[in-house]
């Protein structure tokens, strides 16, 4: 038995802690105890996995010349654009379920939206696009959640724009689940978030945003309205869906054994997740058995494009699936590794003393605990949430995207191109087979 992290072999430590025993998270108290009596299991057995989790993707990235880095960035941009421009209608699998199939619309699934009463206009616009491009063919129910009661006006306006037979559920969130917990010290929170705000972390001082990130990370899948639901498609106010989708996306998830579907992969604000990675490594030391040997580790360890993010986030690229669009198998979230990880993250207070987003949290969990083959990039789904787009090319003569976006252009603001991380997924994670399927 090995006791305490100060006697762990170097390979067990995150990059930033090698050769030192101090926590890199200056200012954020380390509440996780290295319990003397906790057994760290068979460390040697996991050495190759920990080696991968401690190895940056690009060797000596710090020493790259400006020309070399520019070249790497240019190459990635080209790979992204070339991939997106490749015409696509739908994934090339034999088991797609069409609208006229008896199985259409039969997945245990719902379109899910966490939304406020005042977002009515923007959520209606998102719903109409969801209906027009997909759901009028498949008739999946909607579930709306709110930390406040929905007003009658909100509910009526939603019912008015949907067909009469569409199942619509409205739910509230228990304040115990939503609100900042008692264990958070107000003064520490205010000081920490003020500092994050001054470092440019978005929404740092907005308490409801912290609540939202925590809720989407660790609670939404336990809501009573989702008890019998296996798949959710998250829908946010104000988004656009550009392209017609003629197959049952939930059935695609089910039949092809996918745990997670996304459209956009970007870097995060590194100061919002300074300690997420070192703390995660601490968790993994206690539960190395949760690490999936086929995890998408390289996405986490990307350090070539935004090396400063990798440094500030203490060994995590900050690449993350952009969760405002996500199609999720909730059984993954309900699994032991994910739940135990959430309990651990909660004990670390980073949802409040930092501004851990649900996107990096979900992405780190997926990259560690899921087989990368079970994470699907929906390249065919045209999606826009300000400021990024997933815009696929269409075959000549096919107008499924109605010329509403420009294939391969990830953002209208070209200074944000650098934030796009999807080329890393294409180059390092996707197999040839998967690329051909998309
Ligand atoms: P952004 O996409 O990161 O800028 O964050 P959003 O403001 O879009 O919030 C993400 C999601 O959570 C959206 O679906 C919002 O409607 C929802 N949301 C955010 N804050 C609250 C809140 O305080 N109450 C409720 N009910 N929903 C919220
Ligand atoms: Mn949003």
- The full set of domain ranges for the chain reads 69-437
Tell me the mean pLDDT in the region 122-151.
98
Residue 340 binned pLDDT confidence (cut-offs 50, 70, 90)? very high
Q: How far is the CA of 362 from the centre of ligand 2 (A)?
A: 16
Handedness of CA 298, 301, 307, 313 (dihedral sign): positive
User: What number is the average pLDDT over the span 130-142?
Assistant: 98
Lowest pLDDT segment from 12-26, 42-56, 259-273, 334-348:
12-26
**Ligand 1 pocket check for 114: Cβ under 6 Å:** yes
Q: Are strands 109-114 and 142-146 parallel, antiparallel or unpaired?
A: parallel
Q: Which residue is listed with tokens 């000549």?
A: 396
Look at residues 39, 22, 40, 38 and name the one whose alpha carbon lies nearest to residue 30: 22
Binding site membership of 423 for ligand 1 (Cβ less than 6 Å): no
Among positive and negative, which fits the CA dihedral 339, 340, 346, 351?
A: negative
Q: At what angle do helices 358-369 and 207-218 cross, to 10 degrees?
A: 20
To test ligand 1's pocket by mutation, which of 113, 115, 142 has the most ligand atoms within 8 angstroms of CB?
115
Ligand number nearest CA of 149 is 1
Band (pLDDT 50/70/90 cuts) for residue 432 is confident
pLDDT computed for residue 420 by the predictor? 98
Helix ranges (DSSP H) in 86-198: 120-130, 136-138, 152-161, 175-178, 186-198
Predicted local confidence at residue 435, as pLDDT: 83
Q: Tell me the average pLDDT of the chain.
A: 92
Query: Which CATH code fits 69-437?
Result: 3.90.550.10
Lowest mean pLDDT among 15-19, 117-121, 338-342: 15-19
Residue with the smallest CA separation from ligand 1 atom 5 is: 209
Q: Is the model's pLDDT at 23 over the cut of 70? A: no
Q: Among residues of the chain, what percentage have pLDDT more than 90?
A: 88
Ligand 1 close to Cβ of residue 357 (< 6 A): no
* Catalytic site positions: 326
- The closest of 373, 360, 290, 349 to 323, measured between CA atoms, is 360
Give residue 197's pLDDT band: very low, low, confident or very high (50, 70, 90).
Answer: very high
pTM assigned to the model: 0.92
CA 307, 308, 309, 310 torsion: positive or negative?
Answer: positive
Residue 41 pLDDT class (50, 70, 90 cuts): low
Whole-Å CA distances, 294 to 52, 261, 277, 297, 379: 11, 17, 19, 8, 22
Average pLDDT over residues 47-56: 97
Q: Residue 372: its pLDDT value, please?
A: 96
248 or 431, which is more confident: 248
Looking at the chain, the whole-number percentage of residues with pLDDT higher than 70 is 91
pLDDT at 238: 98
Confidence of residue 434 (pLDDT cuts 50, 70, 90): confident
Please give the average per-residue pLDDT across 328-339, as a whole number: 98
Q: Evaluate if residue 300 carries a pLDDT over 60.
A: yes
């Amino acid at each position: 038995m090995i006791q305490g992290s100060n006697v762990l072999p170097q390979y067990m430590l995150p990059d930033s802690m090698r050769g030192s025993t101090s926590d890199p998270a200056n200012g954020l108290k380390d509440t996780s105890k290295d319990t003397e009596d906790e057994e760290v299991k068979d460390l040697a057995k996991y050495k190759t996995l920990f080696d991968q989790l401690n190895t940056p993707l690009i060797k000596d990235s710090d020493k790259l010349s400006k020309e070399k880095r520019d070249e790497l960035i240019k190459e990635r941009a080209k790979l992204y654009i070339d991939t997106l421009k490749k015409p696509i209608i739908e994934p090339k699998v034999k088991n797609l379920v069409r609208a006229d199939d008896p199985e259409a619309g039969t997945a245990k699934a719902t379109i899910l939206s966490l939304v406020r009463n005042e977002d009515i206009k923007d959520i209606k616009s998102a719903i109409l696009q969801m209906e027009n491009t997909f759901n009028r063919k498949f008739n999946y129910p909607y579930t709306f959640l709110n930390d406040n009661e929905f007003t009658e006006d909100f509910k009526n306006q939603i019912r008015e724009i949907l067909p009469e037979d569409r199942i619509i559920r409205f739910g509230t969130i228990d304040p115990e689940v939503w609100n900042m917990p008692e264990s958070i010290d107000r003064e520490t929170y205010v000081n920490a978030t003020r500092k994050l705000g001054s470092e440019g972390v978005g929404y740092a001082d907005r308490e409801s945003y912290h609540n939202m990130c925590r809720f989407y990370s660790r609670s939404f899948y336990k809501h009573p309205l989702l008890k019998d639901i296996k798949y959710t498609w998250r829908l946010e106010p104000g988004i656009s869906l550009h392209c017609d989708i003629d197959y049952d996306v939930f059935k695609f998830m089910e039949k092809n054994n996918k745990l997670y579907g996304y459209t956009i992969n970007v870097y995060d604000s590194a100061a919002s997740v300074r300690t997420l990675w070192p703390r995660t490594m601490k968790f993994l030391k206690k539960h190395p058995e949760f690490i999936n040997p086929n995890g998408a580790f390289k996405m986490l360890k990307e350090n070539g494009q935004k090396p400063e993010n990798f440094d500030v986030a203490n060994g995590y690229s900050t690449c993350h699936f952009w969760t405002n669009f996500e199609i999720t198998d909730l059984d993954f979230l309900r699994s032991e590794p994910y739940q135990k990880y959430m309990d651990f993250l909660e004990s670390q207070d980073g949802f409040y003393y930092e501004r851990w987003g649900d996107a990096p949290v979900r992405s780190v969990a997926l990259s560690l605990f899921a087989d990368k083959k079970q994470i699907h990039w929906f390249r065919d789904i045209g999606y826009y949430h300000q400021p990024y787009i997933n815009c696929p090319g269409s075959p000549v003569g096919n107008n499924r995207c109605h010329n509403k976006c420009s294939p391969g252009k990830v953002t209208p603001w070209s200074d944000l191109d650098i934030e796009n991380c999807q080329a890393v997924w294409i180059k390092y994670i996707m197999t040839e087979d998967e690329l051909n399927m998309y």
